[in-house]
Structure 1
Amino acid sequence: MTNILTGVGASTGSAHGTARLIHGPDEFTNFQSGDVLVCRTTDPAWTPLFGMASAVVTETGGMLSHAAIVAREFGIPAVLGVRGALDLLADGEPLAVDGAQGTVTRVETQ
């Protein structure tokens, strides 16, 4: 299992939080303040989650995608285009997200 995933650093900054895998709007209630939003893509319906997220990780998207623009507006790190993120990351695992470097790192727990 790889500990570091890479993508496009679309909004700078770094954050730590719990991975919360969200597949669609019906799972929005599973999201808690400080979680790292991990999803395939976002659209305007997802915007309320950005106000609660410590960071955003998507499987698709780039610098001009909805997730990138909204993450920059909210001042939270975003790493986009992380292929297979929903399959490679586990819901509830601790992550460190670096939006400048475009990395998502699994944080080892003691």
Structure 2
Amino acid sequence: MAPPLSRVKREQLRKRRNNLLRRHNEFWVLYGMKSWLIMELPDGQIFTYHSHPDTSPPSREDMKTRPKPTIVRTPRDYISATSAQSVGRDIPAFCAPVRQTQKWEALANHLNNNRRIVS
């Protein structure tokens, strides 16, 4: 089980969860897309959303037999280079394997001497 969340984190989680559920509802209202969502909170509580409560979500077998292929996404598909960096680390230094001219050398020295530290 996950450690207990602070009051601020619980409130942030509540707002994000409600925003996500609202967005799922908008897919149905604005675009006529059916959607199903199941979330398990860190404390074990489960939230569900069904745009069509009387229609069950498609099974794996049903997704395989559809005329159009099923698109599968995982968290790895949404990791960007900026979110992968740790907070509080130095900005990466400019690095080039071979310097062609003195201008490039001067630029590299300038960047190394004037790096900002992210706080």
Bucket of the pairwise TM-score, normalised by the shorter protein: under 0.3
Q: Which structure has greater strand proportion? A: 1
TM superposition score normalised by structure 2 = 0.21
TM superposition score normalised by structure 1 = 0.22
Greater relative CO, 1 or 2 (CA 8 Å, sep 6+): 1
Q: Which has the larger radius of gyration?
A: 2
Q: Which structure has greater helix proportion? A: 2
